[in-house]
Amino acid sequence: MEPIFDVAVIGGGSAGFAAARTAAALGARTALVEGAERLGGLCILAGCMPTKALLEASRRWHAIREVDQFGLQAQPIRPDFPAIMARMHRLVSEFAADRQKELTQGDFQLIRAHASFLDPNQVALADPDGRKSFLRARAFVIAAGSRVSHPPLPELSEIGFWDSNTVLHQTQLPKSLIVLGGGPVAVEYAQFFARLGVDVRLVQRGPRLLKRFDSDLTGVLEEALRDEGIGLLTSASLVSASRSGEEKRLRLVQHGAVHELVAEEIFLAAGRTPALEGLHLPAAGIEIDGRAPLVDCHMRTSVPNLFAAGDFVGIEEIVHIAVLQGEVAGENAARLALGRGAPSRQMDYRLTMEVVFTEPELARLGLTEERAHQSSQPLLVARYRFADHGKALLRGTTRGFVKLLAEPERGELLGAGIVGPEASELIHELVALFSFHATAEDLAQLPHYHPTLSEILTYPAEEIARNVAVSQHQRTLPPSPHHRPSIP
């Protein structure tokens, strides 16, 4: 007789762990099914943590090379790529060990197996030794994650390429590298390798990098990457790929002109796709929209007792969003399975934020200026440059700016963008304010220590607050006598 659980979670990454932990805390008998060889999930094993470890190494190397502007002299040094990779692997192993402990000692049952649906309440399990079994549950949360997208050219598979998994197992720096893609993974790795002396060219199909950010922010990053010697080719379509000896060749078309790029290695960083394979979702009756399952605000799929979360649903492929989605899905699945009423907890994407850890860093929160213009939403927008800010000048990090978006009536903060030093940290002050529907005046009146980077946020807030005050004053003024209607 197969075991019957209240909630079964498929996938042990950030979303799956959050879902299982949440469901178990509500008293649901919970199972977490994970078939991957290593426990930990994408963020720990091949995403957030290893990339940030590598970026920190290249950031420090770059800083050492610029110490002369602070009146310092450094002894000749060189980057040690194997040592950089060894440090990254050690840190990843430590993070993974902590997560493995949480998964194996949690208040839920961990089952090491691949799952495939037989119907909405039952999955077939295949463990690493090939043994077959079955599992039934009143509700499921699918958090199976994502996989590297297929290459845009079949020839790439023939000549070989790196992806975000295989790049972590390299032991030698290539002399030259072509990066395909324009998202966070592409730009972060492009800068990492370029700073270690690799000749890097980045090829992007779209007209600019980081399409989820406003173009004024990404323009600053593009300028910085070019200044560091990275070749950027945007609006470029791949035509063919081939190999000649140790060299790999790409032919592409850009603005009607044909180009040929030659490099020692090619890094495919063109994104990820929800991992639907092997789950047999049609047997469960789940409706798929293109490449991902449809979910509502409760993270519920088209089948009432099946929920989904994380990269698997492809809404916002960001770890903290995956955790929130997992918690929402886990709570709602537990409520349903335990007979405590219909799903009630909802996702709120108003506070969606994203960070890119290049130098300069980029961060966005809430509404973007371009999205507001597309919907003709009225806005007040104010910017302030790091080049005009005292602490940034002291640090020698003056590239970029901060900007705030607010609605015109009260000045409530609706969106923010930062490109510049410590953007990943500065954005969190704004998250706290946005969560309480704060206005620009609220931010402007908060005391900030001087000199700090964070006080730069008050300057665009002051400008918006002044504009709101002027507008409110004008609305309260009596009509001008020159515009009073005449009396017949």
> Which strands, in side-by-side order, build the sheet including 199-203?
231-233, 199-203, 176-180, 265-268
Q: Is the pLDDT of residue 264 over 60?
A: yes
Inter-residue contact 324 to 315 (CB < 8 Å): no
327-359 tens-digit pLDDT: 999 999 999 999 998 888 999 888 999 999 999
What is the SS3 string spanning 196-218?
Answer: CCCEEEEECCCCCCCCCCCHHHH
Q: What is the mean pLDDT of the chain?
A: 92
Please state the rounded mean pLDDT for residues 13-19: 95
Q: What span, in angstroms and rounded, lies between the C-alpha atoms of 52 and 360? A: 14
pLDDT bucket at 9, cuts 50 / 70 / 90? very high
59-86 tens-digit pLDDT: 888 888 888 888 888 878 888 999 999 9
473 included as an active-site residue: no
Cis peptide bond N-terminal to 460, omega within 30? no
pTM of the model: 0.91
- Looking at residue 486, what is its pLDDT? 41
Shortest CA distance to 421 belongs to which of 485, 371, 357?
Answer: 357
- Looking at residue 164, what is its pLDDT? 92
pLDDT bucket at 484, cuts 50 / 70 / 90? very low
> Which strands, in side-by-side order, build the sheet including 257-263?
236-244, 247-254, 257-263
CB atoms within 10 A of CB 2: 13
Please state the rounded mean pLDDT for residues 201-210: 95
Q: What is the DSSP string of 276-338?
A: -TTS-HHHHT--EETTEE---TTSB-SSTTEEE-GGGG-S---HHHHHHHHHHHHHHHHHHHT
What percent of the chain has pLDDT above 70?
97
- Looking at residue 2, what is its pLDDT? 58
Q: What span, in angstroms and rounded, lies between the C-alpha atoms of 333 and 7? A: 7
Contacts of 108 (CB under 8 A, 6+ apart): 9, 20, 21, 23, 24, 30, 31, 32
Structure tokens at 90: 């050690």
352-392 tens-digit pLDDT: 999 999 999 999 999 999 999 999 999 999 999 999 999 99
- Looking at residue 482, what is its pLDDT? 53
124-183 tens-digit pLDDT: 999 888 899 999 999 999 999 998 888 989 999 999 999 999 999 999 999 999 999 999
Q: Is the pLDDT of residue 21 over 90?
A: yes
Please state the rounded mean pLDDT for residues 286-301: 92
Q: What is the DSSP string of 143-209?
A: ---EEEPPPSSHHHHHH--B-TTGGGG--S--SEEEEE--SHHHHHHHHHHHHTT-EEEEE-SSSSS
3-state DSSP assignment of residue 267: strand
pLDDT bucket at 3, cuts 50 / 70 / 90? low
Q: Which range is least confidently modeled, 114-118, 178-182, 473-477?
A: 473-477
- Looking at residue 182, what is its pLDDT? 95
Active-site option among 89, 373, 448, 450: 450
- Domains along the sequence of the chain with CATH: 4-148+273-349 (3.50.50.60), 154-270 (3.50.50.60), 360-476 (3.30.390.30)
The identity of residue 27, as a single letter, is G
Inter-residue contact 414 to 448 (CB < 8 Å): no
